[in-house]
Amino acid sequence: NAGVTQTPKFQVLKTGQSMTLQCAQDMNHNSMYWYRQDPGMGLRLIYYSASEGTTDKGEVPNGYNVSRLNKREFSLRLESAAPSQTSVYFCASSRDRNSGANVLTFGAGSRLTVL
């Protein structure tokens, strides 16, 4: 049981380049999330998808776009990378965003460096 799988694990970009982070879950969860984690800042929500076909902005959405491709997959795209987007990105999923428990299962993370 793989849980939440993110690719790539590491990526180095030059300013202005674009890239897509991929995320897939095999737990039949309805909701999926993208977070970034920076030293001294904690985990901050970029975008989330409460269910297939819907996406919503989180706390720090600027410079990012997302696609909920199907129930399993949720991708994060950087159209024109900036050094401020250097971070560790985590994808997570939960059974249902509106349930009381709403326990998140996280992927292992993708470390992105923008030069």
Partner 1 sequence: EDQVTQSPEALRLQEGESSSLNCSYTVSGLRGLFWYRQDPGKGPEFLFTLYSAGEEKEKERLKATLTKKESFLHITAPKPEDSATYLCAVRSGYSTLTFGKGTMLLVSP
Q: According to the binding rule CB under 8 A, does residue 92 interact with partner 1?
A: yes
Burial of 80 per CB tally in 10 Å (0-12, 13-18, 19+): exposed
DSSP class of residue 115? -
Q: According to the binding rule CB under 8 A, does residue 103 interact with partner 1?
A: yes
Q: d(Cα 34, Cα 88) in Å, to the nearest integer?
A: 11
Identify the residue among 21, 23, 32, 33 touching partner 1 (CB under 8 A). 33
Enter the tokens of residue 94: 């939960």
Which residue number, 44 or 71, has a Cβ lying nearer to partner 1? 44
Q: Which residues contact 41 (CB under 8 A, 6 or more apart)?
A: none
Identify the residue among 14, 42, 53, 62 touching partner 1 (CB under 8 A). 42
CB of 45 to partner 1, least distance (A): 6
Q: According to the binding rule CB under 8 A, does residue 48 interact with partner 1?
A: yes
Q: According to the binding rule CB under 8 A, does residue 51 interact with partner 1?
A: no
**Binding residues for partner 1 (CB under 8 A):** 4, 33, 40-45, 48, 58, 90, 92, 97-98, 100-109
